[in-house]
Structure 1
Amino acid sequence: MLDALIWYIAIQTLGILAFPATFLIFKRLPDRGFTLIKPAALIFFSYVLWMLGLSHIAPNSQITLITVLVVAVPPSIFLLRKNLTDIKDFIRQNWCVLASAEILFLGFFLIWLAIISEVPAINHTEKPMDFAFMNAVLQSRYFPPEDPWLSGNAISYYYFGHFIMAFVTQLSGVSSNIGYNLSVALVPALVAVGTFGLIYNLVRLSGGTLKSGIIFGSISPVLIFLAGNLAGAMEFIHVQDWGSDGFWEWIGIKGLDGSNTGSGLFPDNQWWWFRASRVIDTLSDGQSLDYTITEFPIFSFILGDLHPHMISLPFVVLGLGLILNLYLSNEKLGLAWFRHNTIEAAGLAIFIGSLAFINIWDLPVIAGLLCGAALIKTYGDYGGNLTEALVNTATAVGPILILGVMLFLPF
């Protein structure tokens, strides 16, 4: 429990340091990016450490991490003092939103700690691979870390998500096995608070009240990642012995056939829940012909494999928040916008660029959404002139995407 408390304090410290900067970057969002400060801070400080280690300027150590945070204190205080009146007014007017967000974050963090505590072992499914990557980062004096599978070679994989979790592990001083499980609990907590903020902002921007924003924002984590694909409902129906053999053949989930395999509410097989991630399949005489993996958030969180597609979820939400913030700009997009909003553009570049390093498959999705949102905005800004909209979208978004790639070229 002490390790979890230290980890929680470390995450909050990073968020506090980043808040004055995110308050300015997310200036158009009703929550001023408060619900996104934790993933934003994780990316920024991890990137600084990665570049220091990659350039051999400073070794990968707890002392280096603490030094980086200490160096970040003066500019954070400067921004805080410079915008103190606005920040005070914001906190006074939105304290219930901020409190709701923190309660949600802590609540989901504790819930997943309780779930993980039932089976904390890191010795099944693909956990050992993710654990090996985390340890490779922790044991590296400089970067890139050595590939645990191919001695003498650097990791040839998008490992920044593992790097981020190793960063917090080293900062908090917990052992790597504890850090792994705390990381698994951290991700759903970050997703919960991030989706809360995203929906809250959309409700408020649509004219909803603060109360309605909090209510719908609080419901969003349930709909976004607690809801599954109804395979659980099928399991319940099956264990009650409802439905004919023909019905279950039509459902076509391997292992769910006409015979009951349990009693009460749950099946006897302890891996029954795993079937929910394999619902798309073609069966022939009970054998799979296309064993398609269809994971969804709550399945990944329960399974606890610290894969890139799981770690990336809160950072995808961060990307959506950045895109929404850009879309709300009162200025016309183009080179002038880029010059007047340099810090925001740099933030977009580093945060969106990092997605390729965390889970490369998310980059085209977020980049496409960014281009689409910018094009819709410029189309309206320039009176429906598609040519002008395309040109100004390219001049505003193009440098952001190019810079995002350049920042992570060493990867």
Structure 2
Amino acid sequence: MSKKTTVSGILLVLLVLATTPLLGTDNVSFLKWWLMTLVLGIGFYPAAAALFPRFHDRGWMFSKVLGIVVSGFAVFALGSFGLVPFTAPVCLITVGVLILASWIFGCFKVRVHAPEIDFLMMEEVLFFAFFLLWTYLAGFHPEAHGTEKFMDYGFMKAMMRSTAVPAEDLWYSGSSINYYYGGQFYAVFLTKITFTDVKQTYHLMRTMVASFAFVLPFSITYHLAESRACHRIRKEGGNKSQIAPVLGGLLSGGAVSLAGNMHYVIYGCIRQWLGLNESAYWFPSSTRYIGYDPLVENDRTIHEFPSYSFVLGDLHAHVVNVMFVLLVLGLLYSYVKNTCRDPEKEWKWSLKDVLFQPQIIAAGFLIGVFHWSNYWDFVIYFVVIAGFSLYGALYRYHARAKETIGTVLLQAAEVFAIGTIVALPFTMKFETMVSGVGIAKHHSMLYQLAILWGLPTVLVVLFIAAVLLAWRKNCHLPGMERQGQIVLADGKTQEEVEEQAVA
């Protein structure tokens, strides 16, 4: 055992001991939920390792979310077709069967390489620390009233009472729940397999999602930065350093789990210091800006961000779906990482190779779940998946039009078909509330959009510019031409390589 792993182990023990003074008797439910994520992570680790083979932890943190989404959906689907009741024993048996299937699959079909224990333990400490931090903060305002909290809590209580899926409407309207209740269902599913109570798990669900909102972006960005550092070392020499990957990961985790938008900086800090605010800053103002300040009757918009919802206390569909969205992004990065692992390989286009990409198939399953948990994410991330498919095809087939277009169209159709089939247990019983999509009749003021989206837009533009400059300097794709010469993946021309070979 290395020193880093020993230090991480000591920190984890200290954090576990800290739950008693910070949470009091509620620490029992908290620790049950953490142990539940640990068991699900171990159980679905072989499946995650097959999806994240080039990650240092083999997808350890993603295995926890994978276990939640797959096992919960299995119970939901079986219950929707009336095959099983929605009870704790059924949930536990389903989880056990799926874990067994995951390990059988791992033993016979996947060569699971051992993860880097140092990195895995660091992630586990981060996850526990932020889970504990957000749970401690939730204890200062645990009442479930105001905004959408009563409805979310009511959904959970209705599903806890019911053994049918979907449960009876909490307003006793004579019909079942007709809403995007996937997030609350997952909260109840986890409540049942941990034998805890909704009065605690309502908060534990949102604080657990907040913790995943930190550690999953940390993992993705760490591997992005680490891959770039390894590429630089291979070209220029030198020693590998983890400072930049870890720092980048921490910034990314903080941006998703803790940060907001620039409204607070401008209105809560700068204008406050200049004495321009007539009253003290109120934190929901950063989500009620367009159409509210100044008042515009036909353009009132709610633009929430994760940390606002975590602080507010809502457990709505878009809140729980944050961890599933991050799982999709992790899968897509893993897909690109696998696709680009051998830039000099000449890939041959084949239908089997295009359609049997495990990360793309898994992403299709997840956006099918989005129909039920947060429909807007289905629309958004279907486009995101197509974008990643395009990037992978451009790289793999050296931007050849026929292969690239064929790959994107086939994978997009595949993802849409998988998602539609997965959504059937929900859509067959759901009466849609969407009347259609139209052209916007009212448009927000440009300066308001700049305050909300200016900083991320500028950062994305700078990032893309930096990537393009680095690519132009060092990372030319195989087959690209520079001044009439073929440039290989290492930046050397074909003539230079031949001259070196002769010498």
Relative distance call for 1:367 and 1:85 in structure 2 (3 A) is closer
Q: For residue 8 of structure 2, what is the aligned residue in structure 1?
A: none
Query: Which deviates more from structure 2 when the two are superposed, residues 363-372 or residues 383-392?
Result: 383-392
1:217-271 residue CA offsets vs partner (Å, 9 max, x unmatched): 122112233222244343345555x33xxxx4xxxxxxx43xx55xxxxx6xxxx
Whether 2:68 is the aligned partner of 1:42: answer yes
Q: State the one-letter code of the partner of 2:251.
A: I
Whether 2:268 is the aligned partner of 1:235: answer yes
Q: State the one-letter code of the partner of 1:359.
A: N
Whether 2:331 is the aligned partner of 1:298: answer no
Deviation at 1:328, TM superposition (A): 3.0
Aligned 8 A contact 1:159 1:308 in 2: yes
Q: State the one-letter code of the partner of 2:268.
A: E
Q: Structure 2 regions of 5+ residues with no counterpart?
A: 1-26, 231-239, 340-346, 427-503
Q: Structure 1 regions of 5+ residues with no counterpart?
A: 249-255, 262-266
Q: How many pairs were matched up?
A: 381
Q: State the one-letter code of the partner of 1:44.
A: V
Q: For residue 94 of structure 2, what is the aligned residue in structure 1?
A: 68
- Whole-angstrom CA distance in 2 between matches of 1:196 and 1:381: 27
Q: State the one-letter code of the partner of 1:353.
A: G
Query: Which deviates more from structure 2 when the two are superposed, residues 228-237 or residues 125-134?
Result: 228-237
- Whole-angstrom CA distance in 1 between matches of 2:227 and 2:129: 26
- Whole-angstrom CA distance in 2 between matches of 1:318 and 1:53: 25
Aligned 8 A contact 1:35 1:196 in 2: no
Q: For residue 15 of structure 2, what is the aligned residue in structure 1?
A: none
Query: Which deviates more from structure 2 when the two are superposed, residues 219-228 or residues 75-84?
Result: 75-84
Whether 2:53 is the aligned partner of 1:27: answer yes
Q: 1:141 aligns with which of 163, 188, 208?
A: 163
Q: For residue 152 of structure 2, what is the aligned residue in structure 1?
A: 130
Deviation at 1:210, TM superposition (A): 6.0
TM-score w.r.t. length of structure 1: 0.85
Deviation at 1:69, TM superposition (A): 2.2
Relative distance call for 1:132 and 1:138 in structure 2 (3 A) is same
Whether 2:391 is the aligned partner of 1:376: answer yes
- Whole-angstrom CA distance in 1 between matches of 2:178 and 2:401: 41
- Whole-angstrom CA distance in 2 between matches of 1:202 and 1:102: 19
Whether 2:129 is the aligned partner of 1:97: answer no
- Whole-angstrom CA distance in 1 between matches of 2:349 and 2:58: 21
Deviation at 1:280, TM superposition (A): 2.4
Q: For residue 318 of structure 1, what is the aligned residue in structure 2?
A: 327
Deviation at 1:48, TM superposition (A): 0.8
- Whole-angstrom CA distance in 2 between matches of 1:58 and 1:191: 32
Q: State the one-letter code of the partner of 2:257.
A: F
- Whole-angstrom CA distance in 2 between matches of 1:288 and 1:84: 57
Whether 2:408 is the aligned partner of 1:386: answer no
Query: Which deviates more from structure 2 when the two are superposed, residues 53-62 or residues 209-218?
Result: 209-218
TM-score w.r.t. length of structure 2: 0.70
- Whole-angstrom CA distance in 2 between matches of 1:210 and 1:133: 48
Whether 2:190 is the aligned partner of 1:168: answer yes
Deviation at 1:281, TM superposition (A): 3.4
Deviation at 1:326, TM superposition (A): 2.1
Say which structure, 1 or 2, has more relative contact order (CA 8 Å, 6+ apart): 1
Q: For residue 353 of structure 2, what is the aligned residue in structure 1?
A: 337
Relative distance call for 1:300 and 1:118 in structure 2 (3 A) is same
Q: For residue 129 of structure 2, what is the aligned residue in structure 1?
A: 107
Aligned 8 A contact 1:184 1:304 in 2: yes
Q: State the one-letter code of the partner of 2:91.
A: L
Q: For residue 258 of structure 2, what is the aligned residue in structure 1?
A: 226
Let me know the Cα RMSD of the aligned residues.
2.4
Relative distance call for 1:96 and 1:333 in structure 2 (3 A) is farther
Whether 2:363 is the aligned partner of 1:353: answer no
Relative distance call for 1:130 and 1:333 in structure 2 (3 A) is farther
What percentage of aligned pairs have identical amino acids?
27
